[in-house]
Amino acid sequence: MGGVNRIDIPPVLVTGATGRIGRIVVDQLLDAGVAVRALARRSAAATTLPAKVEVFTGDLTVPESLDPALKGTGAVFLVWTAPPRTAAAVIERLSAHVRRVVLLSSPHQTPHPFFQQPNPMAVLHADIERLIAATGLESTIIRPGMLASNSLAWWAPAIRAAEVVRWPYGAAESAPIDDRDVAAVAARALHQDGHVGGDYVLTGPESLTQAAQVGIIGDALGNRIAFEEMTPDEFRSLSKGTAPSSVVDMLLAAWSAAVGQPAYITTAVADVLGTAPRTFRQWAADHVTAFTEGSEGA
């Protein structure tokens, strides 16, 4: 994999390289001929990454563990799902070693009800953005709305088991964005000029209710998938032990606020990439096997 190797830019360090977006950013950078470093908490992660990637073990909760990966790095793709405690120390280290950072954040500043509900992740993202702004780092903030791949964790288990999809707020609208489009924008911001200071709210191209999204997955599978409304309380009790209650409350509040509200849609993907964002129909067609075989997130 990868095009002609570029010698004009130093390596890019991808954090979250084993995660949904980071893993695709790795491939996109390699395709652009960029030398890629990956930060991983476990060295075993190397087996899941392309051989060309230089894997460094390190942990965002142990800031000094990042130093070997940062030395000689030009830009960092920063994904933060760790506790917030060490964010300031990590940003300080980044600014001492690298020129550019691209942060995977969220649209917490967007004045649409879906994005304006109480959300602990939004608080964390805002804090990290402030820390970055206080340094001399060249930065780009990317803010995907709802990732299309969320539907793998949410609905694939029922669909694989040929069960009815039971879910709260079937009428809530969102504009799911294909993870590949998010990663492509991040990769451009990491290796191309013209994105310093960029602040991109990334959405898919159309507003779809959650029930319609399940219907589109059914179309891709060639099956009609039955959808049944679940009460928020039942969702809360079924989610116990699988997701933190703060995340469950955040999702329920966002969906509740999005009923009857067309989703917020931007042209940012097309503006940056020069191509239209992929539709949810396209995403579903490309992920049929994840709904028919394998496990969650496959």
Ligand X SMILES: NC(=O)c1ccc[n+]([C@@H]2O[C@H](COP(=O)([O-])OP(=O)(O)OC[C@H]3O[C@@H](n4cnc5c(N)ncnc54)[C@H](OP(=O)(O)O)[C@@H]3O)[C@@H](O)[C@H]2O)c1
The one among 12, 15, 26, 277 contacting ligand X by CB under 6 A: 15
The one among 6, 33, 50, 59 contacting ligand X by CB under 6 A: 59
CA–centroid distance for 39 within its chain: 17
CA distance 249 to 108: 16
Q: What is the largest CA-CA distance in the chain?
A: 56
The answer to whether 20 contacts ligand X (rule: CB under 6 A) is: yes
Closest residue to ligand X, judged by C-beta, is 19
Encoded tokens for 196: 């310093």
The answer to whether 18 contacts ligand X (rule: CB under 6 A) is: yes
Q: What is the size of the binding site for ligand X (CB under 6 A)? A: 26
CB of 282 to ligand X, least distance (A): 17
Q: What's the number of CA atoms in the CB half-sphere (13 Å) around residue 193?
A: 2
CB of 101 to ligand X, least distance (A): 14
The one among 19, 33, 84, 113 contacting ligand X by CB under 6 A: 19
- Interacting residues with ligand X between 111 and 150 (CB under 6 A): 121, 144, 146-147, 150
CA distance 89 to 140: 20
The answer to whether 204 contacts ligand X (rule: CB under 6 A) is: no
Strands 54-57 and 75-78: unpaired
Compute the radius of gyration of the chain from its Cα atoms. Answer: 19
What binding mask, one character per residue, do residues 79-98 give for ligand X by CB under 6 A, x or -? xxxx----------------
Is there a contact between 52 and 26 (Cβ–Cβ < 8 Å)? no
Cα-based distances in Å from 14 to 67, 77, 190: 14, 5, 10
Strand, coil or helix: 207:
coil
What binding mask, one character per residue, do residues 150-189 give for ligand X by CB under 6 A, x or -? x---------------------------------------
Binding site for ligand X (CB under 6 A): 15-22, 39-41, 45, 59-61, 79-82, 104, 106, 121, 144, 146-147, 150
